[in-house]
Amino acid sequence: MAGQGTLYVVATPIGNLEDITYRAVRILRETPIVAAEDTRAARVLLDRYQLSPRRLLSFFEGNEAARTEEILSYLEAGEDVALISEAGTPGVSDPGQRLIARAVENGVRIEVIPGPSAVITALVASGLDTERFLFVGFPPREEGARRELFGALRGERATLVFYEAPARVGRTLSDLALALGPSRRAYLGRELTKLHEEHVRGTLGELSAKYEHEPPRGECTLVVEGASALQAAEAEGLDVEDEVRRLLADGISPKEIAARVALATGKPRRQVYQLALVLAGKRPRDGHD
């Protein structure tokens, strides 16, 4: 479309304000409209480099839908827009992904200005295999959904990378240890590139014990070793019905069986629960007790 503006997707520092490229500073200086996930954080960065866009728009999860259409209207009118997240590369576990997708649908020219990323920073610092990795993002907050996800990752060969809120790190590490095994090597990167940067390495069991009662402070990224060939084969070959029968024979309740098997296999907990009830000779229910 003639006269259409460009959407610049600009990576910004994840902590240390010196971690910004010359190109990113130039684009932010030249672009009249900046859409920022956190305008307060954006102001700190812009002031540091004496940048004064004509318009600074808030663009976060709560106003993402309406703001996306507004930004598209600016682009269609020939205005350039720079998109920045609170920290790091926009579009990775933040609201920018929807805007980028809509811009692609509308044929808008997009330029990505690469730079800092907590995913890559933590992966490299972890010392774990970087040949192949899977970025999982933030695990679900709901316990059942989180455990099912972790169970589904049991046989994944790639190194796993997660974002997690400090208050949930202990619970997440505990669930990962149960789902993947406590001996899996793991890493927690805290406050990466900041003054109090910390790198904690150990097994899932060790990290789970460390943060069980005292959550870490600040932004956290978790990296977990992928499954070995043997672990992947074992996860693939686990027979759900046989496992349910075995646990029933050990006197485990259908509800607890559902939680354990969902965690070990990634199968929906409700489905396992219904199977356990049938195999126990009980009448299936519409929900958990």
Q: With cut-offs at 50, 70 and 90, classify the pLDDT of residue 289.
A: very low
What's domain 119-230's superfamily in CATH?
A: Tetrapyrrole methylase, C-terminal domain (3.30.950.10)
CB 289 within 8 A of CB 279: no
| Phi, psi angles (nearest 5°) of residue 59 | -145, 95
pLDDT of residue 286: 54
Instruction: Give 201's pLDDT tier (boundaries 50, 70, 90).
Output: very high
pLDDT, tens digit, for every residue of 58-73? 999 889 889 999 999 9
Portion of the chain with pLDDT greater than 90, in percent: 71
Share of the chain above pLDDT 70, in %: 96
Q: Quick one: tokens of 214?
A: 């005292």
Helix (H, G, I), strand (E, B) or coil at 124: helix
How is the chain split into domains, by residue range?
Answer: 6-116, 119-230, 238-279
Per-residue model confidence as pLDDT tens digits over 142-191: 988 998 899 899 999 999 999 999 999 999 999 999 999 999 999 999 99
pLDDT the model gives residue 264: 74
Write a three-state SS string for 118-138. HHHHHHHHHCCCCCCEEEEEC
CA distance 102 to 84: 16
- Which residue bears the tokens 């790091």? 88
Please state, rounded to an integer, the average pLDDT across all residues of the chain: 91
In this prediction, residue 250 has a pLDDT band, given cuts at 50, 70 and 90, of confident
Q: For residue 247, give the H/E element and its range.
A: helix 240-249
For domain 6-116, say whether CATH 3.40.1010.10 is its number.
yes
**97 pLDDT above the threshold of 80:** yes
Q: pLDDT band at residue 80, thresholds of 50, 70 and 90?
A: very high
Residue 175 pLDDT: 94
User: Judging by beta carbons within 10 Å of its beta carbon (0-12, 13-18, 19+), is residue 75 exposed, middle or buried?
Assistant: buried
C-alpha distance from residue 11 to each of 28, 91, 210, 236 (Å): 11, 10, 33, 39
Determine the pLDDT at residue 285.
59
Instruction: Tell me the C-alpha to C-alpha distance, in Å, between residue 214 and each of 166, 167, 202, 211.
Output: 10, 9, 17, 5
Read out DSSP for 51-85?
---SEEEE--TTTHHHHHHHHHHHHHTT--EEEE-
Q: Which two tokens stand for residue 233?
A: 């084969």
Mean pLDDT within 219-239? 84
| Residue whose tokens read 């932004």 | 219
- Residue range 133-146, pLDDT digits in tens: 999 999 999 988 99
Residue 93's pLDDT is: 85
In this predicted structure, the answer to whether residue 26 has a pLDDT above a threshold of 90 is yes
Tokens linked to 256: 């607890």
SS3 109: strand
DSSP 3-state of 183: coil
pTM recorded for the entire structure: 0.82
Q: What is the pLDDT of residue 46?
A: 97
Kindly tell me if the per-residue pLDDT of 237 is higher than 70.
no
- The predicted pLDDT at position 288 comes to 47
- Name the band, by pLDDT with cuts 50, 70 and 90, for residue 1: very low
